[in-house]
Amino acid sequence: MTLSLSRSRVIRPPAPQRSLRTFPVHLAMLAWGVVTALPLIWAIISSFKTDNEILNDPWSLPSSPQAGNWARAWSQASIGRYFFNSVIVVGGALLLTMLLGGLAAYALARYEFRGNRLIYYTFVAAMFFPVFLALVPLFFVVQQLGLLGTYQGLILVYAAYAIPFTVFFLHSFFRSLPGEVAEAAFMDGCSHAGVFFRVMLPMARPGMVAVGIFNFLGLWNQYLLPLVLNPDPDRYVLAQGLAALSVSQGYRSDWSGLFAGLTIAMLPVLIAYVAFQRHIRAGMTAGAVK
């Protein structure tokens, strides 16, 4: 006996018709890409020009690349010191944020206890609180702790600033992980900390990488918090250093060194995004489906 199975076909419009429908979307994306990339490319090209070329012919290519602009910005303009300060502060804050935020998100997602929802929504509400409204009390708190103008003070404040978003991002991600794996680890004698660090954390690696990149981008470009809490010029981060460099120019015209400093500040962000863009997409989509 033969059975005939009818398969439903999805009727799709012809290829030319689909192209006409998607053309405005592609055109808008292309225009957005040009608007976004053009200032970056122009700043990088200007970092290899002389001051006269920047002022007289800003849209042309450099006649002879001036690599000395980068060396002058790194040493004479103290960009190297600001870069080192940013690496210390952002690196320490990122490690603290990922550890505390991951632990909090895991506990709120996998354990039921009284006040669970209240704590979670407190983290969510903290994301919408404007940071400039807390600058004055935050300044006095950091000052009373003796951490004003120190690496430790900036690291703690940066971590507190980034933890709410980290908890919000990772909460749904940890909830989507299979609980059977954790139960099997408990049956094998693994502790709660062991289950988190040995089992659940490796499974949540795409989400951890994605939120880590988002936090890095936000903390690296942070300007308002260090402006208020970091008055020591020797401990300026890159955003502060570049702002101080542009103000100190006055009537001098070392625009080539300023563009070189801007390019040095942009490079870590561009490299991080290009290197981990696949992980960002994977982390954002993996935690969205249970």
Say whether both 193 and 93 belong to one domain. Answer: yes
Let me know if residue 8 belongs to a domain: no
Per the CB < 8 A criterion, the answer to whether 205 and 280 are in contact is no
36 and 122 belong to one structural domain? no
Residue 177 lies in a domain: yes
Domain check: are 41 and 85 in the same one? no
Between helix 238-248 and helix 255-286 the angle, nearest 10°, is 150
For residues 201 and 263, state if they share a domain.
Answer: yes
Read off φ and ψ for residue 148, nearest 5 degrees: -70, 130
Asked, for residue 3, whether it belongs to a domain, the answer is: no
Would you say residue 277 lies in a domain?
yes
Give the Cα separation of 170 and 174 in Å (integer): 6
pTM over 0.85: no
Does 68 map to a domain?
Answer: no
Residue 63, in any domain of the structure: no
Tell me: do 22 and 106 sit in the same domain. no
Give the pLDDT of residue 90.
94
Residues 6+ apart with CB under 8 A from 176: 286, 287, 288, 289, 290
Residue ending a domain, among 5, 23, 46, is: 46
CATH of the domain at 195: 1.10.3720.10
Reading phi first (left if > 0) and then psi (alpha if -120 to 50, else beta), residue 115 is in: left
pLDDT at residue 6 in the model? 44
Encode the chain (290 residues) as per-residue pLDDT tens digits.
444 444 445 555 555 665 667 778 888 888 888 888 888 888 889 889 888 888 888 888 888 888 888 888 888 778 889 999 999 999 999 999 999 999 999 999 988 889 999 999 999 999 888 888 888 999 999 999 999 989 999 999 999 999 999 999 999 888 888 888 888 888 888 888 888 888 888 888 888 888 998 899 889 988 889 999 998 888 889 888 888 777 765 546 678 888 888 888 888 888 887 887 776 666 666 555 44
- 130 and 21 in a common domain: no
Please give the Cα distance from 234 to 244 (Å, whole number): 12
DSSP 134: G
The answer on 24 and 97 residing in a single domain is no
CA–CA separation, 105 and 231 (whole Å): 34
* 210 and 259 part of one domain: yes
Closest of 92, 109, 95 to residue 204, by C-alpha: 109
Model pLDDT, residue 152: 93
Model pLDDT, residue 9: 53
Predicted local confidence at residue 7, as pLDDT: 47
Q: Tell whether 92 and 200 lie within a shared domain.
A: yes
* Separation CA 184–CA 31 (nearest Å): 52
Residues 33 and 126 in one domain: no
Count of domains for the chain: 2
Tell whether 34 and 175 lie within a shared domain: no
Q: End of a domain among 30, 46, 62?
A: 46
Do 40 and 84 fall into the same domain?
no
Domain membership flag for residue 9: no
pLDDT of 5 reads 44
Output the pLDDT for position 19: 65
pLDDT of residue 97: 95
Full domain range(s) for residue 118: 78-286
* Helix 238-248 with 79-110: angle, nearest 10 deg: 150
Would residue 37 count as lying in a domain?
yes
